[in-house]
Structure 1
Amino acid sequence: MIKAIKWTLTCMLIIFLGAICFLMVFRMATAIFIVYTALALILVKRIGNRGFIIFIILGTFLIRLIYICTVNTPLDSDFELLYEAAVLFSQGDYSFGQQVYFQEWAYQTGFVIYQGLVIKIFGQAGSILALKILNCIWNTGITLLIYLIARNFFGEKPSRLASVLYSGFVFPVTFVSVLSNQHISTFFIMLALYFLLDKRVIRLRSLFRSLIAGFLLALGYIMRPDALIVMASLAVYFFVLLLRAENMRQKLEKAMQFLAVSLTFLALTRLASYAIRESGINGQGLKNNNFYWKFMVGLNYDSGGRYNEQDYQLVYGGNKSIEEKKELEKALIRERLGINPLKLANLFLQKIQNMWCENALDWSYKHLLESDRTVNLLFSHVRFSDVDAVLKDLNELFIYASMILSLLGTLAWRKARMHDGLLIPVAILAASFVLYLFIEVQPRYAYMQQPFLFILSGSGLEIIYRAFNGFSLGQVWARLRDPMKYRPGQQ
């Protein structure tokens, strides 16, 4: 009788607290996230190694393929300009290289050539869909590489779950419909680091690993200069390895590895720039002829460090010479850095929010929001603005979950030595965090950094797995039914 009363009261308390929590935190996005995570936990536990790789490739690719077939994202902004230049390139017309955009930011030419080659193969009519499908392939590769890299540092299940979480992360799912150079560039960067770090599958000597990594990083850079952040992070990584080396032979080996990566990277990027210049595609090669622009825009307090038309007109209006533009930009940078320190700190906080916490989903389906369209979901018509609200909430849940898990793992490293290889994703995120305090920010610019955040989330997932190892729902229910039996000292 007493047991029955206790059991009844315990169940009532659980129902009461559960109902309150449900009403306080329940949103459609929360329900989707919980169900997705629960299914992911079951799948990563029950599938074999080969089966998981097949699952993560097919599952990730199909999710993205379905999306690009459902949402027809129109070309917009710089993406339209780059595609139009690629069409000209495919026709043998290099006149786009004379445009101000490609004279100032000539490093975009590599991506134009890539798109132009795809247009040549598939024709202009089918090229946009082909490029979007390729984006799906690149992002599927990124998802797989999260798992392959993470399992060099963490257990099998945490590494799997980290990649499955990224697979369902809303931003990359939607962003594959945008013809951005971030997809292919990030894939090559991730592949380069996999060759450099993996000890489980790749059985190459360290020097050959470094040469391949340098080659792949150069390909990533030719598509988009994000690889410069990675090169700086590798310098930190190899410096630590040099400090840890126990003898001169080990120090020489680590120094040779870094030189192999760096020299291969520099040689190939210079060679690509030379080839583009000498072939007449763009006389500026892969240069950045307006280095100060990003800093000038990034320090604009009124725009929160985002692109703004006022700065563009200020610099590019009035037919200023290259030197006049540079001097104006440098003067504005000095002026903006000289504002009240509290105001500058507030700008930095705004930029952290804009870069790391905001979402970039509008790049994919802004046209649907502007048209106030309705969609048919579960046999009922729903306004797309309501779907957008759920997707943005869901996107936040994924990114905040990865941040919390990474933070949990980072705190644990204070008690245990961190694997040296994890210095690379940590350095990439730290360097990006500092750099984007000063240069232009957009939420989509975090695309390259986010896979490394999900890799680091494996550390937090591993702590959780260890804490709940062998712990089942049956045990929880048994404790609820007879809590006295599980009191300390009663077992």
Structure 2
Amino acid sequence: MMSNQTIADRTTTPPDEALPVRTAPGTGAHVLTRVLAVFGVALFGWMLWHSAANTAVFFDGGWTIALAMLGSIAAALLLTSVADRWMKRLPFVAVLLLATVGLRLAWVLAVDTQPVSDFLDMYAAGVSAANGDVSFGTNDYFSRWVYQLGFAFYEALLIKLFGNSLLMLKLFNIAFQAGTALVIYRTAALAFNDTCGKMAALLYALYVPNILMCSVLTNQHVSTFLYFLGLMLLIGRSFSGKAGWLFVGLCFGVGNLMRPLGSFFLLGFVAYVVLIRLVPSIRERKWPALAAKTIGVLAVYWLVQQGASFALVQSGVTPYPLSSQEPYWKFMIGLNPQTNGGWSYEDTLYVLQFPLGEERNRAELELLKERLRDKRQVAELFVSKTKTMWGADDSAPLWSMPDQDRPALQKKLIRAERIEYLTMALFGLIAMAVLAIRGRGSPEASLYMLLLLGYAALHVVIEVQTRYRFDIMPCVFVLQSFGLYAAYAVFKRRWGVSAAGG
């Protein structure tokens, strides 16, 4: 919170004090921060440029977009001022939870979203499992994507405990998003400062796709909460304690049972430890403890996966281990120029003619190699995919309203999402520029830059959907909050100079 110093005093605040941020120890960490921030400038600049082009499709003219953007920026700065000056932590948490839960509950009650596609397969499996029938484990869907069984049994547990109600499952979606909002608040506060934490969480609460997806029975609600809870524990004091590593490993392990992104977050975790935490630990002679905790996280994660896989196989639910039986599928789809790296019905029909196992994997690998032969086409596809992944409008309205003929409402929701996304891309660009110029930043911020950049790189080669942004958007909320705070600090100083002078 701000002190009670006078406006004239605040105008003399040195630049580094005006933008408080925990500093990563060591010259090497500063270099890494600067390198990551430069790549971050490129990514957020890409997001801003291509999302601006996409946004123009949904508005009547450039002036409309400009006015909407100015209104959004002004609203964000006003909220930052209110949060910084007048909202203590506990009242803010109350407001945050009220906004998060209230908006999502209103949407869930107003729009009757029925499960479709993969969500329907997992929900139907959950209903069957709750009734004691687990024969679905050997059907074609769960034989191909065995890792989806974890979420199906999560839904089965809720159905068993609370009855077969879509509303009840959606209420748990809201609960997990509320938990994620709190995690983002704490995370951004650790990475930067408390005001950044407040604004990161508040913008998460107000982000339209998050609200709409609460009525969709996707595994992303649970997994996102668990993965980012694990990251919050990692960068907080608890990881320095005796059992912090255990809870980090459990969060990543159970998160992977819900949605198979565990290997990605584990890789980010190891990169963070090696690149950011290792040198200070060597200097302070604490590296054996850090190495032991890192191994402990990996061991706990492995034990969770092996335990769940063993239980499912031994109970007769599935004959396969808890992993994808088609390791080349995502890459083969991601390199399909006909669908711009998106899901392909033709590819699905092609691979299903081969029996599951080595023969199908060979067929997918051969098609993958064939698509890699035309290097120019591959390069053009990578650029086109990245435009879509980080510039196109979010598909949340399609998933949340798949069978509802309400085009006017959909257009309004898309417009709102586009302006929010553009605003955050702008503040993200400012944040990365400030960190790149200063060359100093917190180790926590470097972790979230690593994850966001790694996720962007991964989706250059694998299947893309704008819905997949959901899984990494907490990194965007955390990082852009520093850009918003930087803009607010500049605005505050300039206003202070004017007031003091006159």
With the length of structure 2 as denominator, give the TM-score of the two structures.
0.82
Question: Aligned match of 2:123 in 83, 88, 98?
Answer: 83
For 1:40, the equivalent position in structure 2 comes to: 79
In the superposition, relative to structure 1, how do residues 413 and 470 fare at CA in structure 2: closer, same or farther (>3 Å)?
closer
> What is the CA–CA distance in structure 1 between the aligned matches of 2:68 and 2:425, rounded to whole Å?
18
Residue 188 of structure 1 is aligned with which of 226, 232, 237?
A: 226
TM superposition shift of 1:176 = 0.9
Q: CA deviation at 1:197?
A: 1.2
1:21-40 superposed matches below 5 A: 24-26=62-64, 30=69, 33=72, 36-37=75-76, 40=79
1:362-377 equivalences under 5 Å are: 362-368=398-404, 371=405
Structure 1 residue 111 and structure 2 residue 111: aligned?
A: no
Structure 1 unaligned regions, length at least 5? 1-21, 372-383, 480-484, 487-491
Letter of the 1:162 partner, please give it: A
Matches within 5 A, 1:206-355: 206-240=241-275, 241-247=277-283, 249-316=285-352, 318-341=353-376, 343-355=377-389
Residue 391 of structure 1 deviates from its aligned partner by: 1.5
The alignment partner of 1:437 has SS state of: helix
CA shift digits 1:376-425 (9 cap, x unpaired): xxxxxxxx323322221221222222222222222222323221122221
Query: Residues 245 and 296 of structure 2 are in contact (CA less than 8 Å); yes or no, is this contact kept in structure 1?
Result: yes
Deviates more, 1:445-454 or 1:349-358: 349-358
1:315-334 per-position Cα deviation (integer Å, ceiling 9, x unaligned): 11x35352221111011111
Larger of the two Rg values belongs to structure: 1
Tell me how far 1:34 sits from its aligned partner: 5.3
Cα displacement (A) at 1:470: 4.7
TM-score calculated relative to the size of structure 1:
0.84
Counterpart residue type for residue 383 of structure 2: L
- Equivalent in 436, 439, 455 of residue 432 of structure 1: 455
Match of 1:98 among 135, 138, 141: 138
Between stretches 354-363 and 231-240, larger displacement belongs to 354-363
Q: Which whole-Å CA distance do the structure 1 matches of 2:75 and 2:103 have between them?
A: 13
Structure 2 gaps of 5+ residues are 1-59
The alignment yields a C-alpha RMSD, in angstroms, of 2.3
Cα drift, residue 30 of structure 1 = 4.7
Cα distance in 1 between the residues matched to 2:70 and 2:424: 18
Following superposition, the deviation at residue 230 of structure 1 comes to: 0.9
Mapped to 2, the partners of 1:218 and 1:390 lie a distance apart of: 39
Q: Which has the higher contact order (CA 8 A, sep 6+)?
A: 2
Partner SS for 2:460 = coil
Correspondent of 1:419 among 431, 435, 442? 442
Aligned-pair distance for 1:35?
7.0
Equivalent residue for 2:474, pick from 447, 451, 458: 451
Q: How many residues align?
A: 437
Equivalent position of 1:407 in the other structure: 429
Q: Which amino acid letter does the alignment assign opposite residue 269 of structure 2?
A: L
Q: Which amino acid aligns with 1:237?
A: Y
**Paired residue for 1:197, among 235, 247, 250?**
235
Query: Structure 1 residue 460: deviation in Å?
Result: 1.1
Question: How far off its partner does 1:109 sit?
Answer: 0.4
Q: Provide the residue aligned with 1:64 in structure 2.
A: 104
Residue identity matched to 1:336: R
Q: 1:147 aligns with which of 155, 178, 185?
A: 185
- Rate the CA distance shift 1:206–1:238 in 2: closer, same or farther, 3 A: farther
CA distance in 2 between counterparts of 1:251 and 1:244 reads: 8
- 1:475 to partner: Cα distance: 7.0
Q: 1:392 aligns with which of 414, 423, 426?
A: 414
My pick for the range that moved more, 103-112 or 263-272, is 263-272
Amino acid at match of 1:33: S
Alpha-carbon contact 1:188-1:216 (below 8 Å) kept: yes
> Are the structure 2 counterparts of residues 29 and 304 from structure 1 closer, same or farther at C-alpha, using a change threshold of 3 Å?
same
> Would the alpha carbon gap of residues 103 and 314 (structure 1) be closer, same or farther in structure 2, given more than 3 Å must change?
same
Question: 1:285/1:340 Cα in 2 relative to 1: closer, same or farther (>3 Å)?
Answer: closer
**What is the alpha-carbon distance in structure 1 between the residues aligned to residue 452 and residue 61 of structure 2?**
36
User: Alignment partner of 1:432: what SS?
Assistant: helix
CA–CA distance in structure 1, aligned partners of residues 193 and 445 of structure 2: 14
Structure 1 letter corresponding to 2:118: D
Relative distance call for 1:427 and 1:419 in structure 2 (3 A) is: same
Structure 1 residues 31 and 459, CA gap change in structure 2 (3 angstroms)? closer
| In structure 2, distance between residues paired with 1:76 and 1:39 | 40
The offset of 1:168, in angstroms, is 0.8
Aligned-partner Cα distance in 1 for 2:319–2:305: 15
Mapped partners of 1:266, 1:355: distance in 2: 31
Matches of 1:161 and 1:431 in 2, distance apart?
Answer: 24
**C-alpha contact 2:250 2:301 (8 A) present in aligned 1:** yes
